[in-house]
Amino acid sequence: MKQDDQIASGPALDFGPFRFITSRRALLRAGEAVRLPARAGEILLALVERAGELVSKRELLQRVWPGVIVEQATLRVHIAGLRKILGESKAGLRFIENVSGLGYRFVAPVKRVVDELTGAAQTALSGKLHSTSHTLIGREQILATLSEQLPQRRLITVTGAGGIGKTAVALAAVQSEDAACFRAVHYIDLASITDTACVPEHVATSLGLSLGLPAAEADIVAEIVPFLGSDRTLLLLDNCEHVIDSVAPLVEQLFTLAPELHILATSREPLRARNEWVVKVPPLDLPPPSLRPNVAEALGFAAIELFTLRLTESQSAFVLTEADVPCVADICRKLDGLPLAIELAVACAAMFGVRGLAANLDDRLKLLTRGHRTAAARHQTLRANWDWSYETLAEVERTTLQRLAVFEDSFNVESAIAVVADENIMAADVLDILTSLAAKSLVLSCVIGDRIFFRLLHTSRVYALEKLGSSGESSKIRHRHAELNSAASESSSPISSSTRRRYAA
């Protein structure tokens, strides 16, 4: 069915729960702004203005990338990104139809809107949640789980390594349809706090409360509770890790006094508060080193999809080729599938090219320094991101982390003890320290059979090696590691094929 020919000239177009302001390529969902990358906006306009008609791939390529030769794989990436923005994975939502080998068709009914935007819609375009949100790649399952659990659980903590995208996932969940059950949603960023004693006051002032004279914590909590009201309210506490010892008891106090309050927290480790439900955000999925994927297969891995999509957005001439796939896969592996590191790498790839970036990525802490100027300081460089994590550690955890950096691959508890333990760190404490570092997403743990293995992220290992080098004990720790390897070599016995398969992971 062909829509009214004048539909594209109107100030706004409505379809499903969306309103699309054509002049600004701005997309609203139920009055709330949705981030729409420039090329996604052009593709959407091209399809919506001819809703019901087939728009060929060639037409889309010429319109979105005029005068540039772009492969169809690039168009597929952007169409996939647009579908995620529109939420096509949700039941009952279908907007874009793929006509195999020919092009795409917008299949949802479209209505021209002649009235002007309301003030509320305009305000939403510059709101806090809009400015922080963006299209999430590879987070569909975890976002669906989190959104579903928000109305059911009173305390959920989203954890993961620095730069993994905890805030993005939390904000997306807060803006989901499932969060509509809350009377109010309040976002509170704790990143700027340097004194743990100031957490209750910061929460109160972020809610708009005027406390007047310095008040005791109990008095501040007594001020907060009436403001939260008796209806269901959601509090999003972002960046809790450095003030976690103050956040956890505050959360429990608020829960006792405000029975309809729900809290969603983000932290690099769990709060360890009562009735806490922890959601760990994993790295974006990567192809295993043994796999040699083609372009289509490679784009099925979220880390490569993110890298390709962001680079295509910043460089219209970039096209992922078969020759580039191994380089891009290697880059994403060295960056552990961390979205922040991948975003920083894209800025470098725009200058050096994919192969130039891959050749120089071993010096990634010095190279990845071109984050968005408007981002938080800890998100503007890879080093700043790890500084933020390192500074929250206890001294014994810092020492252990930098000593563990001598392990290039996985290691077990016994090996860690041989390298880490001395007169200052007791052998009996090493497992507890490893467990703590794993909870803070600085060390990965894996159980294989009846044994526990640990590994540092590639990026955290590079950072920890720097710290080891400046500690003055690099030679001593490397000597211990060499002795450990020598002893293991001398005592080794032939390994059966079944055992080898068991521990191959």
pLDDT of residue 483: 87
H-helix or E-strand spanning residue 188: strand 184-189
- Measured CA to CA, the distance from residue 141 to residue 160 in angstroms comes to 16
Task: Please check whether the domain covering 394-502 is classified as CATH 1.10.10.10.
Answer: yes
Strand order in the sheet with 233-238: 184-189, 233-238, 261-266, 155-159, 277-280
pLDDT above 70 for 9: no
Q: Nearest-5° angle of CA 151, CA 171, CA 268?
A: 95
Residue 90: is its pLDDT beyond 70? no
Ramachandran assignment for 87, one of left (phi > 0), alpha (psi -120 to 50 degrees), beta (any other): left
Structural tokens at position 429: 């404490």
Q: How large is the average pLDDT for residues 457-466?
A: 85
Structure tokens at 355: 């192969």
Lowest mean pLDDT among 18-27, 143-152, 490-499: 490-499
When pLDDT is averaged across residues 14-22 and rounded to a whole number, the result is 84
Q: Strand 155-159 relative to strand 261-266: parallel, antiparallel, unpaired? A: parallel
How far is Cα 133 from Cα 480, in angstroms, rounded to an integer? 47
Domains 7-118 and 394-502 share a fold: yes
CA 465, 467, 473, 475 torsion-angle sign: positive
Select the CATH number that applies to the domain covering 7-118 from these four: 1.20.1200.10, 1.10.10.10, 3.40.640.10, 2.40.10.10: 1.10.10.10
CB 232 within 8 A of CB 202: no
What is the three-class DSSP state of 144?
helix
Instruction: Report the C-alpha dihedral over residues 410, 416, 419, 424, rounded to 10 degrees.
Output: 150
Residue (of 472, 488, 440, 400) closest to 160 by Cα position = 440
Q: Comparing 15-24, 190-199, 451-460, which segment has the lowest mean pLDDT?
A: 15-24
Q: Which residues are CB-contacts of 222 (< 8 A; sequence separation ≥ 6)?
A: none
Q: Indicate the residue type of 89.
A: S
Better pLDDT: 70 or 42: 42
CB 382 within 8 A of CB 368: yes
Amino acid at 399: T
Average pLDDT along the chain? 80
Distance CA 434, CA 423 (A): 18
| CA atoms lying within 13 Å on the CB side of residue 103 | 18
pLDDT, one tens digit per residue, over 191-247 is 888 788 889 888 888 887 766 555 677 778 888 888 887 778 899 999 999 899 999
Quote the pLDDT of residue 128.
44
Percent of the chain, pLDDT > 90?
A: 24
Query: What's residue 10's pLDDT?
Result: 39
Q: Looking at the predicted structure, is the pLDDT value of residue 8 above 60? A: no
Per DSSP, 381 falls in state S
pLDDT greater at residue 318 or residue 288: 288
Alpha carbon 443 to its chain's center: 18
Helix/strand/coil (H, E, C) string of 148-164? HHCCCCCEEEEECCCCC
Q: Rounded to whole angstroms, how far apart are CA atoms 137 and 339? A: 9
Domain boundaries, the chain: 7-118, 127-280, 295-384, 394-502
Q: And the tokens for 364?
A: 């990634």
Indicate whether this model's pTM tops 0.85.
no
pLDDT at 114: 46
- What is the per-residue pLDDT for 387? 82
Q: How confident is the model over 91-106, as a mean pLDDT? A: 84
What DSSP line would sit under 264-314, residue for residue?
EEE-SS----TT-EEEEPPPPP---TT----HHHHTTSHHHHHHHHHHHHH
The closest of 150, 200, 241, 234 to 441, measured between CA atoms, is 241
Tell which residue, 281, 79, 276, 255, has the closest CA to residue 171: 281
pLDDT tens figures, 183-192: 888 888 888 8
Span 127-280 CATH architecture: 3-Layer(aba) Sandwich (3.40)
Confidence of residue 401 (pLDDT cuts 50, 70, 90): very high
